């Protein structure tokens, strides 16, 4: 019986539709730049930081060629505010950073979210805390990307690619979601996927992508901030068209006026949360292999998912019925993917355990959710195979050097 | 409501919610007068505000498009906005906290880039919306709620900072200089580049009470007036004096930031078309 | 071609390790293969060695990590010592750079005097990496003509010497014997 394989993401279809183009050997940062250009990027504003610096350099070369603008900000906080300003002015905007800069962006992040300003933010994660080791991969911003602003009362959209090719398509997708949901979308990539060179197909004519690219539109009428509404696909508000729109950091009315009435607070929150929660199915993206008969399901995202998938296939050759679940949309968290009452083995690049906590919450039996954390370097196929066998046959994680298994 | 307010502001949000004796409303009227004398329409100007008394009281009063930024970041937002909408005049009304403290790095770099915005820094010499703490523009030695023994740090004049950073128009006035303020705001908005107008005004409730010992608006206004002249009514020299007027005028002497970027694009694209 | 070929190249910074891997990878892409290439970054580079991990396959490569290299090119003694255990296939080394080799697996070692050859033929040891790439091309069963095309495309200067260096490595008797 053939192994069941499933990729639920818009580019599963896009890859079939677009076959004319060129094959290159390029890095994830390059694919990301081209994906943004293909999506109609107008302004990139950011501050160089390893391993996202190459994105800034590619942008500085590429954007003037397409009459776009590369702004080098004084810091990441300014960079994301510039993006929000450019987006309000009608341009698709993006910034890219790593953990230290991502943390600085949160001021603007919340402002863009509450004002429903589409912006795409890239975080190429490296091991931390703080500067950590600049050239080593990490997955430490899983929760930070969800709670990327203070004060609560928001949902966020976060996507994570695991290959150079997927980075290209996913970047277009991120821009589409930002437009459709009028919000910030984070691309949570990592040092490996960002820096890795890999064969990359690029369509020859980005103009031919107009069927899949959501264009920028302008909302020219009230309500600017529809209260108690979870409607999506509304055009973003625009400054400079004389609509009289007001954007601000305050709880707002439908016009955008600041207000201190609880009813307005509740209406605004209803919209910010439910425009995403009520359309979770439009955001869900994942890859699954061999779940049907799986006796243990390995869960991972980003670079980690690369070795974990190889390990799952290898474990199957060794007689362990292993399944593979790769999350692509991380937030809103896809609880529905964890309904199977099976043991889960969650692999991620941190010792504290982040993704694993959400899986524990979503899975039927949290005692059968196992953690396999590494720090600063990729899981190896051999390690994950051993762990899959341990969980499948003995219901416990084997002891392995430099691998953390405790969450509590 | 006066004629200018009726012409440019939102009737539902005027008059200002500021404390009695505060000059924020009066200064906004002077800005309107400058805008009116320049024959600008609502749709010609994008109005951006900061956080604090100045941001809160002016936000969404402008009848056209508005934004209120996070604290200190109005200039960063405006930088991106100007690149996207180079055809608009952007007027930023911010406080001393926004301009000189939390957003000081954006101020410096917007001046360096010569971003085409006019920054009106309405300086009440302290953090007044949080109840009156000292700021980088509080005169040294003065008592505030966070300097009960006198402000121990040295203050600075943000005009000096933006001149050093490359601003192309810089002026300073106070809340007792109506005609001069209107005049320099007009000059500022005629500069296709980074303009900075620093306007000192009194906070009666906090600065007046803590530093000057009175909530009487007249006491605060007289103190401002005296320091603008450098001497009191009876001829005695004040403890310090503000130098007001145009401090630096290099209007339209170097290209505005978004134009620099557009010219760069034109050059790159021409080279591409020429096949080089 | 095998379902998965793993190649590990390591040496000091400045020896052209990454460029060699990029040319090799491009060559594989141009021959219709799927390729991943991880390069060491920052700290690892400053630690005395640069590493490139290449995986070449006719199908999509899942794990890009080299755990069992089919081919390992060691340009320096520290690189040789550090990554020797990750290779179960052939080890290409320059005896000038790697003097002490493991004596348990002599049959897996392929001695390529790349620096000496580069000096003899071009009066410049810098061409050593192209000599090595020529040898690697043959041992990895890749097309020399495609490799030459890519090399000319990637390297801006000294095409004539670089092409000859490729031929030199490709034509070595010890390489022909092990291919």
Query: Would you call C41 and A378 a contact, using CB atoms and an 8 Å cutoff?
Result: no
- Mutate which of C9, C64, C149 to test chain A, going by most A C-beta atoms within 10 A? C64
Query: Would you call C63 and A134 a contact, using CB atoms and an 8 Å cutoff?
Result: no
Q: Nearest by CB to A240, from B46, B68, B69: name it.
A: B46
* pLDDT over 80 at B182, yes or no: yes
Positive or negative CA dihedral for C75, C78, C80, C85? negative
Query: Would you call B272 and A108 a contact, using CB atoms and an 8 Å cutoff?
Result: no
Distance in angstroms (rounded) separating the CA atoms of residues A182 and A223: 14
Query: Would you call C64 and A23 a contact, using CB atoms and an 8 Å cutoff?
Result: no
Q: Are B247 and B199 in contact (CB under 8 A)?
A: no
Q: Are B257 and B113 in contact (CB under 8 A)?
A: yes
Distance from CA of B241 to the nearest CA of A (A): 33
Residue B156: domain span? 3-273
- Mutate which of A198, A287, A326, A377 to test chain C, going by most C C-beta atoms within 10 A? A198
Distance from CA of C44 to the nearest CA of A (A): 8
Task: Residue C73: name the closest of C134, C14, C27, C28 by CA.
Answer: C134
Q: Nearest by CB to A310, from C30, C37, C63: name it.
A: C63
* B contacts of A249 (beta carbons < 8 Å): 51, 68-70
Across B110-122, average pLDDT: 98
pLDDT at A310: 97
Could you tell me the two tokens for C43?
A: 């700290």
Instruction: Identify the H or E element spanning C121.
Output: helix C114-122
pLDDT at B48: 98
Q: Nearest by CB to A196, from C29, C34, C37: name it.
A: C37
Domain count, chain B: 1
pLDDT at A294: 97
Across B61-66, average pLDDT: 96
> For residue B223, what is the domain's CATH number?
3.40.50.970
Q: Are B174 and B201 in contact (CB under 8 A)?
A: yes
* B contacts of A239 (beta carbons < 8 Å): 46, 65, 67, 81, 85
Q: Are A150 and A136 in contact (CB under 8 A)?
A: no
Distance in angstroms (rounded) separating the CA atoms of residues A215 and A360: 39
* A contacts of C59 (beta carbons < 8 Å): none
Q: Are C122 and C165 in contact (CB under 8 A)?
A: yes
Q: What is the DSSP string of C48-113?
A: T-EEEEEEEESS--S----SSEEEEEE-SHHHHHHHGGGEEEEEEE-TTT-----GGGGGGEEE--
C41 band by pLDDT with thresholds 50, 70 and 90: low
Distance in angstroms (rounded) separating the CA atoms of residues A123 and A160: 10
For residue range B92-114, list pLDDT tens digits in order: 999 999 999 999 999 999 999 99
- Mutate which of B16, B60, B102, B273 to test chain A, going by most A C-beta atoms within 10 A? B60
Q: How far is CA C96 from the centre of its chain?
A: 16
Q: Which domains does chain A have, with CATH numbers?
A: 19-283 (3.40.50.970), 286-394 (3.40.50.920)
B89-95 β-sheet, strand order:
A246-247, B66-68, B45-49, B89-95, B117-123, B195-200, B169-174, B245-249
Query: Would you call C67 and A382 a contact, using CB atoms and an 8 Å cutoff?
Result: yes
ipTM of the prediction greater than 0.95, yes or no: yes
Alpha carbon distance, N-terminus to C-terminus of chain A: 39
Name A66's Cβ contacts closer than 8 Å, sequence gap at least 6: A37
* A contacts of C66 (beta carbons < 8 Å): none
C44 band by pLDDT with thresholds 50, 70 and 90: low
Q: Are C52 and C9 in contact (CB under 8 A)?
A: yes
* A contacts of C88 (beta carbons < 8 Å): none
- For helices A53-65 and B257-273, what crossing angle results, to 10°? 70
Instruction: List chain A pLDDT tens, one digit each, 408 residues.
Output: 689 999 999 999 999 999 999 999 999 999 999 999 999 999 999 999 999 999 999 999 999 999 999 999 999 999 999 999 999 999 999 999 999 999 999 999 999 999 999 999 999 999 999 999 888 999 999 999 999 999 999 999 999 999 999 999 999 999 999 999 999 999 999 999 999 999 999 999 999 999 999 999 999 999 999 999 999 999 999 999 999 999 999 999 999 999 999 999 999 999 999 999 999 999 999 999 999 999 999 999 999 999 999 999 999 999 999 999 999 999 999 999 999 999 999 999 999 999 999 999 999 999 999 999 999 999 999 999 999 999 999 999 999 999 999 998
**Nearest-Cα residue of chain C relative to residue A191:** C41
* pLDDT over 70 at C47, yes or no: no
Task: Residue C20: name the closest of C98, C72, C89, C91 by CA.
Answer: C72
Q: Nearest by CB to A378, from C43, C61, C65: name it.
A: C65
A–B interface: beta-carbon pairs under 8 A: 149
Distance in angstroms (rounded) separating the CA atoms of residues C48 and C32: 34
Q: Are A346 and A361 in contact (CB under 8 A)?
A: no
Q: Nearest by CB to C39, from A195, A309, A311: name it.
A: A195
For residue range B32-59, list pLDDT tens digits in order: 999 999 999 999 999 999 999 999 999 9
Whether residue A42 lies within 8 A of chain B, CB to CB, comes out as: yes
Query: Would you call C63 and A307 a contact, using CB atoms and an 8 Å cutoff?
Result: yes
Is residue A152 exposed (0-12), middle (13-18) or buried (19+ Cβ within 10 Å)?
exposed
Q: Are A294 and A342 in contact (CB under 8 A)?
A: yes
Cis check for the bond before B125: say yes or no (omega within 30 of 0): no
* B contacts of A247 (beta carbons < 8 Å): 66-68
Q: Nearest by CB to A85, from B78, B87, B269: name it.
A: B78
Distance in angstroms (rounded) separating the CA atoms of residues A309 and A378: 13
pLDDT at C49: 78
Listed by number, the residues of chain A in 156-195 with a beta carbon closer than 8 Å to a beta carbon of chain C are 191-192, 195
pLDDT at B89: 98
The SS3 of residue B57 is: helix
Query: Would you call A239 and B59 a contact, using CB atoms and an 8 Å cutoff?
Result: no
Q: Are A70 and A59 in contact (CB under 8 A)?
A: yes
Query: Would you call C41 and A196 a contact, using CB atoms and an 8 Å cutoff?
Result: no
C13 band by pLDDT with thresholds 50, 70 and 90: confident
Rounded to 5 degrees, φ, ψ at B181 are -65, -45
The SS3 of residue B119 is: strand
pLDDT at A1: 63
Q: What's the 3-state SS for chain A?
A: CCCCEEEECHHHHHHHHCCCEEEEEEEHHHHHHHHHHHCCEEEEEECCCCCCHHHHHHHHHHHHHCCCEEEECCCHHHHHHHHHHHHHCCCEEEEEECHHHHHHCHHHHHHHHHCCCCEEEEEEEEECCCCCEEEEECCCCHHHHHCCCCCCCCCCEEECCCCHHHHHHHHHHHHHHHHHHCCEEEEEEEHHHHHCEEEEEEECCHHHHHHCCCCCCCECCCCCCCCCCCCCCCCCECCCCCCCCEECCCCECCCCCECCCHHHHHHHHHHHHHHHHCCHHHCCCEEEECCCCCCEEEEECCCHHHHHHHHHHHHHHCCCCEEEEEECEEECCCHHHHCCCCCEEEEECCCCCCHHHHHHHHCCCHHHEEEEECCCCCCCHHHHHHHHHHHHHHCCCCCCCCCECCCC
Could you tell me the two tokens for A185?
A: 């979308």
Across B155-184, average pLDDT: 98
* C contacts of A133 (beta carbons < 8 Å): 42-43
The SS3 of residue C152 is: helix
Query: Would you call B46 and A239 a contact, using CB atoms and an 8 Å cutoff?
Result: yes
Across B12-27, average pLDDT: 84
The SS3 of residue B195 is: strand
Paired strand residues for B122: B95, B199
Could you tell me the two tokens for A198?
A: 């890999």
Task: Kindly state which CATH superfamily the domain C5-178 is placed in.
Answer: Pyruvate-ferredoxin oxidoreductase, PFOR, domain III (3.40.920.10)
The SS3 of residue B94 is: strand
> Helix, strand, coil shares of chain B as percentages rounded to 5?
45, 15, 40
Listed by number, the residues of chain A in 333-372 with a beta carbon closer than 8 Å to a beta carbon of chain B are none
Chains C and B are touching, with contact defined as 3 or more CB–CB pairs separated by less than 8 Å: no
Query: Would you call B85 and A240 a contact, using CB atoms and an 8 Å cutoff?
Result: yes
What does the DSSP 8-state code read for residue B44? G
Torsion of CA C7, C10, C14, C20, to 10 degrees: -10
Query: Would you call A85 and B80 a contact, using CB atoms and an 8 Å cutoff?
Result: yes
Torsion of CA B215, B221, B225, B226, to 10 degrees: -20
Whether residue A89 lies within 8 A of chain B, CB to CB, comes out as: yes
Name A284's Cβ contacts closer than 8 Å, sequence gap at least 6: A8, A329, A334, A336
Average pLDDT, chain B: 96
B14 band by pLDDT with thresholds 50, 70 and 90: confident
What residue ranges in B77-136 does DSSP mark as E strands? 89-95, 117-123
Name B39's Cβ contacts closer than 8 Å, sequence gap at least 6: none
Per-residue b/e over B156-188, b at no fewer than 16 CB within 10 Å?
A: ebbbebbbebbbbbbbbbbbbbeebbbbbbbbb
* C contacts of A191 (beta carbons < 8 Å): 41
């Amino acid at each position: 019986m053939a192994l069941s394989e499933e990729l639920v993401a818009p580019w599963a279809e896009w890859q079939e539709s677009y076959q004319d183009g060129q094959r290159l050997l390029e890095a994830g940062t390059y694919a990301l730049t081209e994906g943004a250009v293909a999506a109609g990027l107008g302004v990139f504003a950011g501050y160089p930081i390893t391993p996202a610096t190459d994105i800034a350099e590619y942008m500085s070369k590429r954007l003037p060629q397409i009459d776009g603008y590369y702004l080098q900000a004084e810091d990441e906080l300014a960079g994301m505010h510039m993006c929000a300003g450019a987006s309000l002015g009608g341009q698709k905007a993006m910034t890219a950073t790593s953990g230290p800069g991502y943390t600085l962006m949160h001021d603007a992040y919340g402002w863009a979210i509450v004002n429903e300003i589409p912006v795409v933010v890239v975080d190429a994660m490296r091991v931390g805390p703080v500067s950590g080791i600049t050239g080593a991969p990490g997955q430490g911003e899983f929760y930070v990307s969800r709670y990327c602003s203070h004060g609560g009362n928001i949902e966020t959209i976060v996507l994570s690619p695991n290959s150079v090719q997927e980075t290209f398509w996913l970047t277009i997708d991120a821009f589409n979601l930002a437009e459709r949901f009028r919000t910030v979308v984070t691309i949570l990539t990592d040092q490996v996927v960002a820096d890795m060179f890999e064969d990359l197909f690029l369509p020859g004519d980005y103009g031919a992508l107009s069927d899949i690219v959501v264009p920028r539109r302008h909302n020219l009428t009230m309500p600017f901030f529809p209260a108690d509404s979870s409607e999506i696909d509304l055009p973003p508000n625009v400054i400079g068209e004389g609509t009289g729109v007001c954007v601000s950091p305050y709880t707002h009315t439908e016009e955008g006026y600041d207000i201190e009435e609880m009813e307005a607070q509740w209406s605004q929150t209803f919209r910010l949360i439910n425009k995403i929660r009520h359309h979770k199915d439009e955001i869900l993206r994942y890859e699954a292999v061999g779940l049907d008969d799986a006796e243990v399901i390995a869960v991972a995202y980003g670079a980690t998912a690369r070795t974990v998938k190889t390990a799952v296939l290898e474990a199957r050759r060794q007689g362990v019925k292993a399944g593979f679940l790769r999350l692509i949309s991380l937030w809103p968290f896809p609880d529905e993917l964890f309904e199977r009452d099976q043991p889960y083995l969650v692999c991620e690049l941190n010792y504290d355990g982040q993704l694993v906590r959400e899986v524990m919450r979503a899975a039927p039996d949290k005692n059968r959710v196992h953690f396999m954390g590494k720090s600063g370097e990729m899981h190896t196929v051999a390690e994950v195979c051993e762990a899959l066998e341990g969980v499948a046959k003995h219901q416990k994680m084997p002891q392995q050097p430099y691998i953390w298994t405790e969450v509590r | 409501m006066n004629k200018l307010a009726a012409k440019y502001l939102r009737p539902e949000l005027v008059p200002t919610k500021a404390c009695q004796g505060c000059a924020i409303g009066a200064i906004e009227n002077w800005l309107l007068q400058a805008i009116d004398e320049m024959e600008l329409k609502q749709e010609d100007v994008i109005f951006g505000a900061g956080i604090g008394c100045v941001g809160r009281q002016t936000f969404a009063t402008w009848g056209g498009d508005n934004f209120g930024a996070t604290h200190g970041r109005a200039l960063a937002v405006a930088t991106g906005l100007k690149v996207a909408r180079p055809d608009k005049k952007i007027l930023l009304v911010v406080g001393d906290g926004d301009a000189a403290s939390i957003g000081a790095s954006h101020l410096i770099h917007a001046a360096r880039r010569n971003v085409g915005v006019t920054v009106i820094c309405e300086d009440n010499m302290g953090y007044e919306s949080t109840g009156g703490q000292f700021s980088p523009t509080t005169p040294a030695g003065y008592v505030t709620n966070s300097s009960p023994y006198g402000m121990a740090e040295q203050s600075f004049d943000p005009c000096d900072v933006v001149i050093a950073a490359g601003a192309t128009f810089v002026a300073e006035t106070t809340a007792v200089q109506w005609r001069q303020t209107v005049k320099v705001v007009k000059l500022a908005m005629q500069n296709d580049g980074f303009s900075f107008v620093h306007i000192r005004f009194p906070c009666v409730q906090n600065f007046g009470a803590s530093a000057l010992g009175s909530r009487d608006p007249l006491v605060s206004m007289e103190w401002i007036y005296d320091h603008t002249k450098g001497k009191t009514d009876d001829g005695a020299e004040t403890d310090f004096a503000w130098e007001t007027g145009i401090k630096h005028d290099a209007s339209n002497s170097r290209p505005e930031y978004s134009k620099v970027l557009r010219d760069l694009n034109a050059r790159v694209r021409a080279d591409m078309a020429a096949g080089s | 071609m095998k379902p998965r070929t793993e190649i590990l190249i390591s040496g000091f910074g400045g020896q052209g390790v990454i460029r060699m891997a990029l040319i090799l990878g491009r060559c594989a892409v141009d021959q219709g293969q799927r390729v991943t290439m991880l390069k060491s970054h920052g700290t690892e580079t400053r630690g005395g060695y640069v590493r490139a991990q290449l995986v070449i396959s006719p199908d999509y490569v899942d794990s890009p990590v080299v755990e069992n290299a089919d081919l390992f090119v060691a340009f320096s003694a520290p690189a040789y010592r550090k990554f020797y255990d990750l290779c179960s296939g052939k080890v290409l080394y320059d005896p000038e750079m790697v003097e002490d080799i493991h004596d348990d697996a002599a049959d897996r070692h392929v001695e390529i005097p790349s620096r000496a050859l580069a000096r003899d033929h071009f009066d410049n040891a810098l061409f050593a990496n192209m000599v090595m790439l020529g040898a690697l091309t043959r041992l990895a069963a890749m097309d020399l003509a495609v490799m030459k095309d890519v090399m000319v495309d990637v390297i801006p200067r000294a095409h004539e010497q670089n092409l000859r260096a490729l031929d030199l490595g490709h034509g070595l008797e010890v390489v022909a014997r092990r291919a």
